[in-house]
Structure 1
Amino acid sequence: MEGTIFSLIPPILALVMVMLTRRVLLSLGVGIVVGAFMINYGNGNVFIDSIQQIFSIVYGIFIDEGAINSWELYILFFLLLLGMIASLIAVTGGSRAFGEWAMSRVKTRVGAQIVTVLLGIIIFIDDYFNSLTVGNVGRPLTDRHRVSRAKLAYLVDSTAAPMCVIAPVSSWGAYIITIIGGILVSHSVTQWEALTAFVLIAPMNFYAIFAVLMVIAVIYFKLDIGQMRVHEQRAIETGAVVDTSKGTPPGDQGDVPATSGKVGDLIWPIVTLIVATVFFMITTGIEGAEGDTSILAIFENTDVAAALLYGGLVSLAITLALSFTRKVEATKIGLGLWAGIKSMLPAIYILIFAWTIISIIKDLGTGTYLASLVQETNLNLAYLPVILFIIAGFMAFSTGTSWGTFGIMLPIAGDIAAATDVSLMLPVLAAVLAGSIFGDHCSPISDTTILSSTGAGSHHIDHVMTQLPYALIIAGISIVGYLALGLTGSAIVGFLAAAVTFVAVVIVLKKLFPALKGA
């Protein structure tokens, strides 16, 4: 069943179950078990072999080839550190003080959301870092203005990856530029350097651009649609920013004992986290680049997971120092630390399940099967960008990884363009990048989607279901743009077509979904 249409069953089954049951772990678990059974079907003992495979995958998350698996473990440790930092900030009264300070300066719900989006646009060095940091900083402000956590998660997620994918100085940019450089060299394309190609591709990444513009339009015109409207109406009318009937969401510290604090009790830990993480990204990048100190080489070789862990440790030390300075009792500090750890456990469980099903999907060859569809289909070249956008979107959605989709689909797109019409090289690469972000935004098993809901303190399923309509709308707008680009050969015409469609869609949404009272 590997590498066939049947390889789509586990991810699609997991998604359908998520939508029907609203139970993420159960749905992912079923997808994992079904996928493992499919891989081991026909073996001597399918049940035992499947259990052993699942155990091996989970074990590999922690120990890989006899050594600690630093990437996954460091991300999990960083989540725990972030939970403890956020909880201690609440214990010292920093969150409350920041909320009161922000309320005196940011007077409206629109203003609170705009501040959050601006932070998301500015902090583009890494999507994990963006999702968790912006969510935690924005939460006290948006809570005070009765903005639902599902809305906050959407604001965070729909600025994080779109900004990272078009910024050359980011962990994403370095990774993509490296792949593009290999593609250009392998096909002897000399008219662009890798960095130049990346810069030229950015304006053709219609999904990333219009996803950010849609976030701004949603805030300014109060375009709350689908399940988002339900969450926003509840928050406005009752002040309940989360659906409490579903329990405590990931990243929410709940009621922790707080003292009377200052704004600096929140600002200094966050500033320290940002500065320390960037510092360690640079130092690990220099170390990995082996003496090459160019910006591109540094971000290409940086160890993001290690930088997050080290930055988190430094920030936790500063947060603890502030707690002792404020003379917070040791018992309150202990309670705060434990509350922070507990707040992150649901997100950690979801991540482990997501990484497991991603490994199962990889073994099933889901990505390979989807890629083969592109290579085997004899298409009109004018439709190539839009077809690649859709295939990349479905691959990222099915596998839960935009980076994995980049690695598989970018070389394939480059091969097709080089073999047919090299002038399509940049448009098809842009379409793959855009489709990958689209699929990532829709996927409940995407780690960035999980971390965005965690940073915002939203139930994961609420974030998935509220972001989905907006992602589909922007995908539709992007398809119009890529059709126009392919038919005319002009990136400008493609962008203008997408822009006109975007304006028309916003006007229609304004009429169909009038602003909620009090929004």
Structure 2
Amino acid sequence: MNKQSRAATPIPAVEEAATGAAEGTGVVGGTGGRLRPSRILAAAAILGGLVGGLYVFVQVDPEWRERKIAYQVYENDAGELTYRSHGEETAVGPVVPYAESPLRAEALRGLQGEPELDSQWIFETEEEDGVVGARYSLLEAEFHFGLWSLLPAGVAIALCLLTKEPLTALLSGVIVGALMLGRFDITDAVLLPSLSSKGAATVLLLYLWLLGSLMGIWSRTGAAQAFAEFMTRRFVRGPRSAKLVAWLMGVLFFQGGTVSVVLVGTIVKPVADRERVSHEELSYIVDSTASPIASVLAFNAWPAYVQALIFVPGVAFLATEEDRIAFFFRSVPLSFYGILAVSGTFLLSLDYTRFAGAGIREASERARTTGQLDAPGVSPLSSAELTVARVPAGYRPHVLEFFVPFILLIGTAVGTFVLTGTPEVNWAFGLALLSSVVTALGRGMRLRHVIEGIGDGMKGVVLASVVLLLAITVGGISREVGAGAYLVELLGGQISYLALPASLQLITMVIAFSTGTSWGTYAIAFPLAMPLAWEVAGAAGVDRPELFMSVCFAAVLNGSVFGDQCSPISDTTILSAMTTGCDLMDHVKTQIVPASYAALLAAALWTATVYFFV
């Protein structure tokens, strides 16, 4: 490939990627006509998963457990029992004594069939300083199938690693989970309910229609390429500065999660592609400055969500919502994984790759020397429609066609967050898309070309949108069969106070990796971990129990972030690959090495903090 000036370096042609992807990707090929071992293992995993799912349905009885969530319940001005959740006051339902609830542990032990209720408010009497009062909790029944509960997620993750084909892997995990629950009508009993959920509708609206359309318009008007040329002329001087721009934007968009991934990945890809930054490097930077930075710069929706899960009766510094939010921010300096993950991507941006792993080093060398942004034979989640600009003849791109929608997008997302506490991302992308369409038409582009651009953009993200929908489904079915509950029960037994933070980190890493969600893991782990930490602190007689609780809190918060970030069934992982044009499993395999270094060092720091300061 021509190695002249950077400005003249073209983005690798789609034909080259297609040729590389076509070589050696058949079922038989490169092995003398024999089936590859990975395909034999994949077939065995599918067959074993299906047989295992049927076996669980026929032979394995669910093990029911109580799940008690303690809330701070109070009487409002009308004399009604209420509690606050997500900033809203909610009335407490009918309350019964704990001893009378059919959802208590004793009643669920040996239960045949399903309990008569899904949840129930209960109260327990307690005495403190000679005063007898009532403690209110929401009691829920949850179940698991023991080790079998890990089967759906295990099949999906194993197939992702073996085949590098996420659609088959995720669909197999969904089918295995459905068989375990006896839902043999996969379409009507599993897929349709999942696809009709609010989460699925959000995926279709935001990622398929709005994001896809916006990327398609930017491709058709040449706005993305104009932005890349502008950044190259003014700020970017090579791969290092291109990566620094990506890192800085990830830090600036500290709302975390899918919002950060979509914004940063979409915006920096043209610049990074022009400067020969491999897609593995770029996807790692985008992913590792999403949720990790949100756990450190926590001026977002995270504290309001998490505080409702960490109330512990009798703990003064967790008594009120304001106390719990203050506790969250006091614990931020202990978010060692988040700090190390963001610092690691900063070092990678400076081309310091000692802890980046061999995969990222090889990808960086390949991109610099050959111009190939992806490894041969891979299947990136972005398509040709979003890779090559298709500007109509006679139309002159302008950088303002990128900046105006971008400013509207950021301004709307940040402004609605400041005013309402929740960033209205759909509004933000909708206004950005509308302004792009109006600007293109106003500058003389024909309506036919605008519609074609929108269509191309939607086609370009169809595969990633389907993968996201299946990831939502397999994550939901993993939680339903009790994967998280089983892991907590398995790993959260008798633990010494010194080993508790690292143990909580390990538990939440595995839960989040298996379910593909950090917030879902918080809902499972925090109501169990925080009371456990308080009891362990009391039993060990630690001198600084609040610091010990902060360390355990940070371990749960950060362990969940690691598992979500590295899971191939996580929405942020998939979107990082999609928006940067990376193959999903190449992203997973290259990212997990530096992320694991950060996680190990974080565990050592939490343990050292407890040993020396608690």
Give TM class, smaller chain.
Answer: 0.7 to 0.9
Task: Determine which of 195, 200, 207 is the counterpart of 2:330.
Answer: 200
2:188 and 2:589 mapped to 1: Cα distance? Answer: 30
CA 1:221–1:62 in 2, change beyond 3 Å: closer, same or farther?
Answer: closer
CA gap 1:431/1:59 in 2 versus in 1, 3 angstroms: same
Match of 2:12 in 1: none
Match of residue 406 from structure 1 = 522
How far apart, in 1, do the equivalents of 2:507 and 2:359 lie?
Answer: 27
Partner of 2:170 in structure 1? 28
Q: RMSD across aligned C-alpha pairs, in angstroms?
A: 2.0
CA contact (8 A) 1:382 1:483 kept: yes
- What are the ranges of 5 or more consecutive residues in structure 2 without an aligned counterpart? 1-59, 63-143, 538-544
Alignment deviations for residues 257-304 of structure 1 (CA, whole Å, 9 cap, x no partner)? 214211111111111111122334455x3xxxxxxxxxxxx3xxx3x5
Residue 483 of structure 1: which of 586, 600, 607 is its match? 607
Identity %: 29
1:352 matched to which residue of 2? 469
Tell me if the contact between 1:25 and 1:350 (Cα under 8 Å) persists in the aligned partners.
Answer: yes
Contact 1:61 1:73 in 2 (8 A): no
SS state of the match for residue 317, structure 2?
coil
By how many angstroms is 1:234 displaced? 2.7
Aligned length: 453
Matched, 1:468 2:587: no
User: CA offsets per residue over residues 365-414 of structure 1, 9 Å max, x none?
Assistant: 01011111244x21211110011011111111111111011111112111
1:435 corresponds, among 553, 556, 559, to: 559
The equivalences for 1:230-241 within 5 A come to: 230-241=362-373
> What is the one-letter code of the residue matched to 2:405?
P
Partner of 1:60: 193
Structure 1 segments unaligned to the other structure (5+ residues): 41-48, 64-68, 286-297, 491-519
The residue identity in structure 2 corresponding to 1:34 is V
Do the aligned residues in 2 keep the contact of 1:57 with 1:359 (CA within 8 Å)?
no
Q: Are the equivalent residues in 1 in contact too, given 2:164–2:584 (CA < 8 A)?
A: no
Q: Determine which structure has the larger helix proportion and give its number.
A: 1
Gap change, CA 1:108 and 1:148, over 3 Å in 2: same
Q: Name the CA distance, whole Å, in 1 between partners of 2:231 and 2:166.
A: 34
- Residue 487 of structure 1 deviates from its aligned partner by 2.2
Contact residue 293 and residue 338 of structure 2 kept, 8 A: yes
Deviation at 1:173, TM superposition (A): 3.1
Partners of 2:455 and 2:188 in 1: how far apart? 28
Return the offset for 1:248: 5.1
Residue 82 of structure 1: how far off its partner (Å): 1.2
Q: Relative CO higher for 1 or 2, CA cutoff 8 Å, sep ≥ 6?
A: 1
SS at match of 2:254: coil
Aligned to 1:172: 302
1:336 positional shift = 0.8
Write 1 or 2 for the structure with the bigger share of strand. Answer: 2
| SS at 2:181 equivalent | helix
Q: CA deviation at 1:139?
A: 0.7
**In structure 2, C-alpha distance between the alignment counterparts of 1:191 and 1:331, rounded to whole Å:** 59
Report the counterpart of residue 184 of structure 2 in structure 1: 50
Distance 2:518 2:264 in 1: 21
| Shift of residue 191, structure 1, vs aligned partner | 7.1
- 467-476 or 413-422: bigger deviation: 413-422
CA contact (8 A) 1:167 1:173 kept: no
Contact kept, 8 Å, 1:92 with 1:261, in 2: the verdict is: yes
2:451 partner amino acid: G
Structure of larger gyration radius = 2
Mapped to 1, the partners of 2:303 and 2:552 lie a distance apart of 17
AA at the equivalent of 1:269: P
Change (3 A) 1:126 1:468: closer
Instruction: Describe the SS at the equivalent of 1:407.
Output: helix
Q: Does 1:188 align with 2:276?
A: no
Which secondary structure state, in structure 2, belongs to the residue aligned with residue 445 of structure 1?
coil
* Cα separation, partners in 2 of 1:329 and 1:135, compared to 1, 3 Å: same
Which secondary structure does the structure 1 equivalent of 2:397 belong to? coil
Offset at 1:489?
Answer: 3.5
State how far apart, in whole Å, the 2-side matches of 1:230 and 1:353 are. Answer: 31
Deviation at 1:251, TM superposition (A): 6.6
Q: How does 1:497-508 map to 2 (within 5 A)?
A: none
Q: Deviations over 1:457-491 (max 9, x none)?
A: 2222221111111111111111211221232235x
Look up the equivalent residue of 1:406 and give its one-letter code: Y
Q: Is the 8 A contact 2:246 2:268 kept in 1?
A: yes
2:225 to 86, 92, 96: 96
The alignment's TM-score, normalised by the length of structure 2, stands at: 0.70
